[in-house]
């Protein structure tokens, strides 16, 4: 694998990958979310060579099953299909975890698509609760949690 670079990006820079990877390229899909603009939210992009090949967004958001925790939510993680399995997602998570720990976060959570659960489990996340389908995609998901 070539050297990868993880860097902060604007929320708007996540939209193309969110649309292509998470919404099957649907041009009418909503890929801008209210939490993108929270004052403490941050967005990361990972480049493989000259191309931004992966993105992820992070915002402070309580985890209902863990009240009182300094919780952050991961949303909109997307890596171009042809680049999956090359460590780009792990690079995004590793960078985010370093940032979150420095900010005093105690837990990172996400609504993981069932098709991505192995990736999250391989990176230390655990399933919490029962599965559900999201309104946005209709696809099965589970809440997954990483203690920081």
The per-residue pLDDT for 2 is 58
- pTM, entire model: 0.91
d(CA 13, CA 66): 31
d(CA 73, CA 145): 9
Convert the pLDDT of each residue in 92-145 to its tens digit: 999 999 999 999 999 999 999 888 999 999 999 999 988 778 777 777 788 999
Give the pairing of strands 51-60 and 71-79.
Answer: antiparallel
d(CA 110, CA 124): 13
CATH class of segment(s) 4-147: alpha beta
Three-class SS state of 82: helix
* Angstrom distances, CA of residue 120 to CA of 32, 82, 89, 143: 23, 19, 9, 11
Convert the pLDDT of each residue in 29-68 to its tens digit: 889 999 999 999 999 999 977 778 999 999 999 999 999 9
């Amino acid at each position: 694998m070539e050297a990868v670079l993880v860097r902060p990006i604007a929320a708007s820079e996540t939209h193309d990958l969110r649309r292509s990877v998470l919404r099957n390229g649907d041009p009418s899909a909503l890929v801008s979310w209210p939490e993108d603009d929270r004052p403490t939210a941050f967005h990361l992009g990972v480049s493989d060579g000259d191309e931004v090949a992966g993105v992820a967004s992070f915002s402070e958001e309580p985890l209902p099953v863990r009240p009182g925790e300094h919780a952050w939510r991961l949303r909109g993680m997307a890596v171009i299909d042809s680049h999956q399995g090359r460590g780009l997602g792990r690079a995004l998570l590793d960078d985010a975890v370093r940032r979150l720990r420095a900010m005093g976060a105690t837990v990172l959570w996400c609504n993981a698509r069932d098709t991505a659960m192995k990736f999250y489990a391989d990176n230390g996340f655990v399933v919490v609760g029962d599965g559900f389908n999201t309104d946005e995609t209709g696809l099965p998901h589970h809440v997954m949690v990483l203690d920081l």
